[in-house]
Structure 1
Amino acid sequence: MKDYLKYVSDSKKNDVAAEVLLQIGDKEFWGQKTIEEWKEMTPLLKEQLEAFKAAVPEFKVASAVIHFDESSPHMQVVGVPVATGYQRGMKKQVAKTKVFTKERMEQLQELLHDQAEKLIQEHPEIFGDETLKQKEKGRNNDM
């Protein structure tokens, strides 16, 4: 194939990249905090990113940027989901639906929820006695 990027970009079935948002806490929680307290999240968000990358090695991170300009501190991660083992065409292809299956999304939600709980317990200087909301069906159904 001469120009795979153009092929994927023009395709109605494939995305060139996918975006993932990493965040702990909601706008109500962060609305009471100072920008200095928001910035204390930087190493925690980096830790969340490392956990995500370890869990999904076939998601190749192109950019990971921490934002303090919206309603809560969060990290926007852009990457390319790469699936392998294709019988037709190239053996490796961009494939969000193959990398982020329903089962994989459920596993990721569980893993990142547990990681967030650990970080909350380890950092009372940021979170005080706050706890995470319980997971609910339908929450975090798309990254």
Structure 2
Amino acid sequence: MLRECAESLVDLFAKNRIVKIKAKVTSGLGEGRIFVSLPYYMEAFNKFLGFQPYPGTLNAVIYDRISMENRLLLDLSRGILIPEHKEPNRVLGSVKAFPASINSVSPVAVVIPTRTTHPKSVVELLSPHKLREKLELEDGDEIEIEVYL
């Protein structure tokens, strides 16, 4: 109940709001590629986000307080909910997503899986583009993410 109230208040004050997150590109473990490539998630991301994602995520680590506060604001915002999916041998967890851009490139989505091994300081990004190539990014490069609430 309290969480729903907080989400409603954030939504009320954050309509058409853009929050900025500064982060540094980092390598992941390759798990994003595995999950994004699953047929359920591929179809769901296309349906809910409006694009077929590149099979993998770009990971970035937040390095400043304001960006971390903005990232935590996403936890209190509704975003686009991609529901969990039950398969015979497993349950694919739900994902909250937010439209975004990186260094003015879009479409991009910040994705927050319900089940993750990443700390909240790691941001996962989806796009139809292989963002590392499109933006010529290497580990340690700074990016600015604009997230549309």
Q: Give the shorter-chain TM-score range.
A: under 0.3
The structure in which a higher percent of residues are strand is: 2
The structure in which a higher percent of residues are helix is: 1
TM-score for both structures, normalised by structure 2? 0.22
TM-score for both structures, normalised by structure 1? 0.23
* Greater C-alpha Rg: 1
| Greater relative contact order (CA < 8 Å, ≥ 6 in sequence) | 2
